[in-house]
Each structure stands twice: as structure tokens, then as C-alpha cells.
Amino acid sequence: MAVPLIAGLGTAQPPGARQDELWAGYFAKHFSGPTRALAERIFANSGVSHRQAAVNPLLEDVSDWPTGRRMRRYQVEALSLGKEAVGRALTAAGLAAGDLGLFVVCSCTGYATPGLDILLARDLGMAPDTQRMFVGHMGCYAALPGLGAAGDFVTARGRPALLLCAELTSLHIQPASARMDTQQIVSHALFSDAAVATVLVPGTETTPQGYALREVASVTDTSTADHMTWDVTDTGFRMGLSPKVPQVLSAHVRGLVDGLLARHGTTIAEVDGWAVHPGGPRILNVVERELTLPADALAASRAVLDEHGNCSSPTVLLILDRLFRAAVPPRWIVLLAFGPGLTLYAALLERRS
């Protein structure tokens, strides 16, 4: 039976700006009245010092754009970033676009038909029989069910698959309001843009090297479905983010991780690589506490939050890329991501050398 191996990973990000520049040059004026002082504190304590934006508010204010105009811009910007990320991943894997059997695209920040999957397949020269799957509106955890689908295809069909996560959160700045709620402030302080592509290929149990995707697991607490929302409005997509999210994560994350690791004969103490989606500093603190991790275990996750912000679905793959490039790559990597549902997803990778 084929074992899905990660053979290549490619990233693409638009130009960036410092968090203090974004605050002083745009958001200090965007937030007014009684919310301004609160917003300044949230921006300063976000754990973010630098972010990327395909539509930079310092240069172009989209906050009053109707959703249709935002979607047209999404198609232009996401197509460009997607091509760059996919091209780099294919090059790293030593494959051509025509070699792919499945192309999975995850995105929750824009929609169009024909979508990114069709347009990129056309522009990059994928074969006419390449199967496609689009994963939408799953939010920040979408990369992991995307990996799961790609891995299952590789195992069942013995052919390569490619996953692309592409998000343009910069298109969804909401109109200015003196009564803008805290959830919108947090969203505007954290989110960023990126595209990351990952190639999975069939290996065997004796394949000498690479990271094997061992399992993808999840748990959803539907009693908290209203804690995280992403609503389509007439002026873009609007985030709803309850302050109770860390509390829900704390109730479920240990059981999810312990169960995943036990099924593969390992434990938290043996995991030397952690890619935890940085939904914000509090999320990372909760995971660190509940899993009783060493102080430096989430260093890569905090570094990505600091340098890139929360890019939604590509973020966990940005952290994975950082771990892959470490001087001593980890043997076991656990990926964790969270989103609407509330849903927790986990994946286990094992390095073979």
C-alpha cells in the first residue's frame, strides 16, 4: 500500500508592512471614538510585528467596497499567488503539473466560478484527467482535511496529489464604525495573506527519506458552533470570534492529541516538532499549557505569527515549512489547527531517513 509522502512545499506571499505602520497609517484612523484606545492595545498585544497584504490598506482602502468588487479582485490576486506557490512546490518535488492525479484547493476568502482549481489547472498545464477538489469556508483548519483528502488519494490511487491553500484576508476589512466590536478589532489586528502548496507522492514503508503523513484526526464541538463565524455580507466577509474559543480548545486538545499519538505508538514527550495554528497569542498559550509542552516547543508557531500574522488556512503550512528548514529537522511533527464548528484538526507526520 502506498504511503503518502510530502515531496515538496512552496510558499508565496504578497508585499508586507510592519504592524506599527499599519496602525499609524490606517487603523488609528479607521477605529474612532471609544473603540480607538481598545484597538491600539489589541494591535500592540497581538503577537504580530509584520504582515503581508495583497491589498495593502496603506495604499488602497477597500473597506467600503461591495462584496462583488472584492471577489473580482480576489480572482486576480489569488491566481497570481497560487501560481507562484504551486510552481515552487512542483519544482521542489521534481514533478510537472501534468503528473498530478488530484489537485485540492482550500480557500475561504473568495469565490468565483470557474474557480482557482480550474484556472490554475489550465494555466499550469495539468492533465485533462486531473481530479479537482475545492474546500471552502472551513477557515483556519482547512489545510488539514485538505492534506487528509490528498493523502487518501495518494494511498488509494498511487498517484501524486497537490494541495494549495490560498487566502486573501486583506480584502475583508470592514467599514469604519465608532461602535466596531472587539471581534472585528481582533480580526483586523491578526489576519494576513499567503498561499502555500504541498505535493504528496506515493512511497512505501521502505522509501528511504521524506515525511510520511501518518494520520489526520479531528473533533468538533457543535454545541459551540456560534463561537467562530465567517459571514458573507454586502461589504465583504465578517468575522465573528468569541473570547470563549480558548476555553473550548482547552477542553478538547489534549484528548485529540493523546489519541492520535497513541494510535502510532508515541507520546507528546517524543514529539519534537509542533506546528500549531496561531489564532492569536492566547490560543498558543492554551495549547502549550494543556499539552504541558516545553517553553520553546511552539517557537516556530510564535515566529510565524510574529512575522506573518494569521493567514488562515496556509498558516499551519508556513509553520511546517519553517520546521522542515530547521538545522535538525524533527522526527515527529504534530500539526494542529482550529476553526468554525468549533473544530479541532490534528495531523501526524513522521520523518524517515
Just list the catalytic residues.
140
135, 142 Cβ separation under 8 angstroms: yes
Count CA within 13 A, CB hemisphere, residue 274. 24
Take residue 292 and report the three cell numbers written for it. 504541558
For 214, list phi and psi in degrees, rounded to 5: -80, -40
Give the Å distances, CA to CA, from 30 to 166, 174, 177, 280, 300.
26, 9, 8, 21, 32
Count other Cβ atoms within 10 Å, centred on residue 9.
22
CA–CA gap between residue 292 and residue 269 (Å, rounded): 9
Q: How far apart are CA 3 and CA 54, in angstroms?
A: 36
The total number of residues written for the chain in this structure = 353
Secondary structure of residue 341 in the 3-state scheme = coil
Task: Identify whether 114 is preceded by a cis peptide bond (ω within 30 of 0).
Answer: yes
Question: What residues have CB less than 8 Å from 64, skipping those under 6 apart?
Answer: 175, 235
Helix axes 143-157, 315-324, angle to 10 degrees: 70
CB atoms within 10 A of CB 235: 17
